[in-house]
A = this chain, B = another copy of it.
């Protein structure tokens, strides 16, 4: 049990990020169970001693690595969305951005979704991961709900739907579809997932998008 320094210099933080990123890569590649500290240290081009020095234990490291990766993914998508004005296009981007990227190398971009699967399983038994997951999902649904509210205010979305309800439903649908895509189910690929989720949103919120915008 090493006492963490009270103030963390910049380089210090940078090293943390470096290790977290390496951990995320290793977890996506080998799986949570088979991710060894030695692997992570090697991927981060450092030593096992140092990774423990920063994170205290393997458990903490994994918990932070899982959630940090998802946090960054969210932040990226959030920035993309908030840069758009039209709520319909926001919704489109939100859904598109949630689809595992098919064109990426099989271990590249869908790594985020692989991490989600690991995170879910881990959350069942690790209270720390469970708490972080709850926060991530709440924020994600809030973002969806906000897009809906904006659309309703501008009268491009139906006002019949409760934003929070819709957010929950869409988030669940996306999770379920992404799950199948990530597991390489023969019936669903990234493109079909996008179509289904988008159709659902358009039906529920009663809006249209022209072909040009969609593709």
Contact = CB atoms under 8 A, between A and B. Distances in A.
B125 A30 contact: yes
A105 interface: no
Nearest to A188: B168
A123 interface: yes
Contact of A183 (B31, B33, B120, B196): B120
11 contacts: A30-B125, A114-B124, A124-B183, A133-B183, A138-B186, A169-B173, A172-B188, A173-B173, A174-B176, A175-B175, A175-B179
B121 A32 contact: yes
A43 to B, nearest CB: 17
A23 to B, nearest CB: 16
A196 B169 CA distance: 7
A121 B28 CA distance: 10
Given A33-B33, A121-B31, A134 B173 contact: no
Contacts of A133: 183
Contact of A172 (B31, B123, B180): B180
Given A118-B121, A175-B180, 8 more contacts: A31-B121, A32-B121, A114-B124, A124-B183, A130-B183, A130-B184, A172-B188, A176-B179
A107 B34 CA distance: 26
A26 B177 CA distance: 29
A37 to B, nearest CB: 15
A180 B34 CA distance: 26
B31 A124 contact: yes
A125 B187 contact: no
A30 B122 CA distance: 11
Contacts of A185: 134, 137
